[in-house]
Structure 1
Amino acid sequence: MKSSSVSSPNVENTEEVRWHHVLDPSLIAHSHINPLSSSFLHPTQATLARKDPNSNEEFLWTSRNQRKNRHIKYTPNTKSRHGSSLLVGLGHMVRIEYWNVSWWLTLNVIQAFTLGSVVWVINGFYSFLPFVDSSFANSVSGIGWSAWVGATIFEFGAILGVLEAWNRGDTANFGWGVSRALGYKDDNDTEAQGNTEFDRDAPGSSNNSVQAKTKLVRKRKWMWYSTDPKYWHELGFLAAFVQFWAATIFWISGFTALPEIQNTISTETGVQDGTFWTPQVVGGTGFIISSTLLILETQKKWYIPNLLSLGWQIAIWNFIGAVGFTLCGALGYASATSTKAAYQSSLCTFWGGWAFLIGSVLQWYEAVNSV
């Protein structure tokens, strides 16, 4: 949340935008942004301002922070979720936010990808070490089983990622942080519990806004599946959807990496190329597309990197990991006849796994620290 001076906070953006979130009745949205300037996409960033003409406060809203629940600045017992320093932020990583449905979901997503990345790093060691140290024997079992476990965990994480996108909440009210800024009471004002008491005499509030606020802040219903077309206009959901199919296709290569299967197909070049290397290339390409969409989601313009954004850093590390996994499969086609190709293919798995691990740890930090 940020505060700044604006000349006319009541003026909304006159451009036609696909703003689809329920807005607190005391706020208006303006300066909507999506990086592709496309009318097809919902805004990925917007500025929310108070309707009160005596206020110059503004709140920066982003679709990624909405999905990750980072706009909630306080816990029900009024503890701050903001990492005022790196050490404080790291300390939040071990805090259990039992009241936060999004925390449980996001944590499972992060843990899945973090654990999966660790497994892929192990797989990278199994694959690459024999090339740099002859004392390490090539282990078909170690490579195969770690690949299958890593691919399976990634698939589980991808499913949770889609559920996270479906359950990101429709109310852009920022939880308790903005409630405080708007003059609402803190007593029992917990979005997780659905209580909606606040100061009826607060500036800019009215009986109508009180009633509207009561309707806005309520318990979210869990969503296992949705056919609502609005999600197809969200970069975050599109990224999660692509990631799911990429992980599903990629899982095929994890399955065919199992020792019994790999020993059978290793002598059949065409079969191995079609069932082992190709799913890696196609799945890895899907991961690249998904990461690219997440990178774009954090940017104001598609061609201007947002280097200072934590979400951008997470997405770029995942992009690097996706490139590594794709190159592993692409170089794998020639690995049977070229030692150099086999070396580079294994090396790509190694550094790709580390890149995914870095991105996963950063995402864990992001999930437990508010903006």
Structure 2
Amino acid sequence: MATKEATLPQANAEYRWHHNLEPALFTHSPDNAFPNHVGHFLHPTRVTLALKDPNRDEEFLWKSRDHRKNRHVKYTPNQDKSRHGRNSFVGIAHMVRLEYWNVSWWVAIAFTLGSVIWVVNGFYSFLPFVDTSFAQSIAGIGWTAWVGATVFELGSILGVLEAWNRGETANFGWGVRRALGQENASDSNGFAVNSSSEGKAGDLKHQRKWIWFSSDSKYWHELGFLAAFAQFWAATIFWISGFTALPSIQDAISTRTGVLDGVFWTPQVIGGMGFVISSSLLLLETQKRWYMPNPASLGWQVAIWNFIGAIGFTLCGALGYTAQTSTKAAYQSSLSTFWGGWAFLIGSILQWYESVNSV
């Protein structure tokens, strides 16, 4: 036991570990994707949890994204329903559940709905270029852009709330509690759990207060919060272009190039770049090293598809500056919205799957 515990101060001195632990556990090998001169500023995205008992060598890999996404909650609160998808088919079946208690589910649903609206917007924008039987609908483009941007804004607000309300106790969920043999413990979502029944109906009691706003500086060291914060401001700026896409506003500014560029195309470019930054941070959260992709990770797949979607939305705005004078630019701008919306939809559906299935 002395050998194990000796590694703890060194790890904590090098990284900003800040979560609570079960008394019988200690951490070692905390890590994130960045080099030391950058990584020391950020909390670890992966930590190994081990038992202090020298006669037991169980270890569990804790991941910050799984922690934030409530993937350590194995049973639906107050119900006898397992959240563990034994295989992909079971996991897909879980997507019909209404996990109203799970903020990560609301985030996924909001972005899925918003992405569907943007796919519709992409059809409105792009189909007239490939099939002349489809007339361009300024109203269809404008209203879907505004509604889609508004839903994305709502999803980004929920994303910040999700980051603020991740549990304070770091564990690997039910595997840790079984290894500890505890009768009562607290899961990462702040629920009291009776491990003898693995948290089935009647054993979950809400204990943690919901956080609507926090100025605690610890969040600025978490990649998940930084990504959510960047996404919020990106969605807020992007919403301006959704608002100015409304038909009555477009009619007023469409012939005034400077105004159109300033209040319609530029917010798309800046907002799209913000989405690129946000998805890049989420990619890094799931990687062992900043230069090593991790395609086997579900969270990484969510982030990469959102990254592709963000590139598409950024290109839409960038190409839009010359769309009025160049048919090719107008074509590519609309096409970027089309494939960007589909990429966001794929990422959102994967996030939906992730939010309803425990690890």
Number of the residue aligned with 2:148: 150
Distance 2:65 2:4 in 1: 24
Mapped to 1, the partners of 2:94 and 2:321 lie a distance apart of 44
The SS at the match of 2:96 is coil
Paired-residue identity, %: 69
Change (3 A) 1:92 1:177: farther
Tell whether 2:243 aligns with 1:255: yes
Deviation for aligned residue 1:106: 1.3
Native 8 Å contact 1:313 1:359 kept in 2: yes
Aligned residue in 2 for 1:315: 303
Q: How much does 1:307 deviate?
A: 1.1
Q: CA deviation at 1:41?
A: 0.3
- Deviation for aligned residue 1:79: 4.3
Partner of 1:69: 70
Q: What's the counterpart of residue 23 of structure 2? A: 25
Give runs of aligned pairs for residues 88-127 of structure 1, distance below 5 A.
88-97=90-99, 101=101, 103=102, 105-127=103-125
The alpha carbon displacement at 1:185 in A equals 3.1
Cα RMSD between the aligned structures? 2.2
**Cα separation, 2, equivalents of 1:28 and 1:263:** 63
Match for residue 287 of structure 1?
275
- Segments of 5+ residues of structure 1 without an aligned counterpart are 1-5, 200-216
Structure 1 residue 71, shift from structure 2 partner: 1.7
Conserved 8 A contact 2:27-2:49: yes
- How many Å separate the matches in 2 of 1:360 and 1:198? 33
Q: State the distance in 1 between where 2:55 and 2:351 align.
A: 38
2: CA distance between counterparts of 1:364 and 1:227? 29
CA 1:88 to 1:8, structure 2 compared with 1: closer, same or farther past 3 Å?
A: farther
TM-score, L = length of structure 2: 0.91
d(CA) in 2 for partners of 1:291 and 1:183?
A: 39
| Distance in 2 (alpha carbons) for counterparts of 1:337 and 1:369 | 49
Q: For the Cα contact (< 8 Å) 1:190–1:196, is it kept in 2?
A: yes
- What is the alpha-carbon distance in structure 2 between the residues aligned to residue 196 and residue 91 of structure 1? 25
Q: Give 1:135's aligned amino acid.
A: S
Equivalent position amino acid for 1:319 in 2: F
The 1:110/1:133 distance shift into structure 2, 3 A limit, reads same
Equivalent runs, 1:332-343 vs 2, <5 Å? 332-343=320-331
Check if 1:12 corresponds to 2:7. yes
8 A Cα contact 1:126 1:139, kept in partner? yes
Any idea what SS the aligned residue of 2:7 has? coil
Return the alpha-carbon distance in structure 2 between the equivalents of residues 277 and 192 of structure 1.
41
Q: Distance in 2 between matches of 1:288 and 1:189?
A: 36
Q: Give the Cα–Cα distance (whole angstroms) in 2 for the partners of residues 337 and 137 of structure 1.
A: 20
| Normalised TM-score (structure 1) | 0.88
- How many residues of Structure 1 are paired with residues of Structure 2 in the alignment? 344
How far apart, in 2, do the equivalents of 1:192 and 1:62 lie?
14
Residues 189 and 153 (structure 1 numbering): CA distance in 2 closer, same or farther, change over 3 Å? Answer: closer
Distance in 1, Cα, partners of 2:47 & 2:188: 22
Cα gap change, 1:21/1:153 in structure 2, threshold over 3 Å: closer, same or farther?
Answer: same
Structure 1 pair 192/347, CA: closer, same or farther in 2 (3 Å)?
closer
Residue matched to 1:172: 170
CA offset at residue 370 of structure 1? 1.2
Relative to structure 1, is the Cα distance of residues 64 and 191 closer, same or farther in structure 2, using a 3 angstrom cutoff?
Answer: closer
C-alpha spacing 1:29/1:118, structure 2 compared with 1 (3 Å): same
1 CA distance for matches of 2:225 and 2:207? 22
Determine if contact 1:328/1:348 at 8 Å carries over to the other structure.
yes
CA contact under 8 A between 1:74 and 1:177: conserved in structure 2?
no
C-alpha contact 1:112 1:154 (8 A) present in aligned 2:
yes
* 1:193, distance to aligned residue in structure 2 (A): 8.0
| Cα drift, residue 9 of structure 1 | 4.8
Contact 2:178 2:195 in 1 (8 A): no
Give the aligned residue type for 1:139.
S
Q: In structure 1, what is the equivalent of residue 254 of structure 2?
A: 266
Give the aligned partner of residue 50 of structure 2. Answer: 49
Per the alignment, residue 355 of structure 2 pairs with 367
Alpha-carbon distance in 2 for matches of 1:301, 1:189: 31
Equivalent position SS for 1:22 = coil
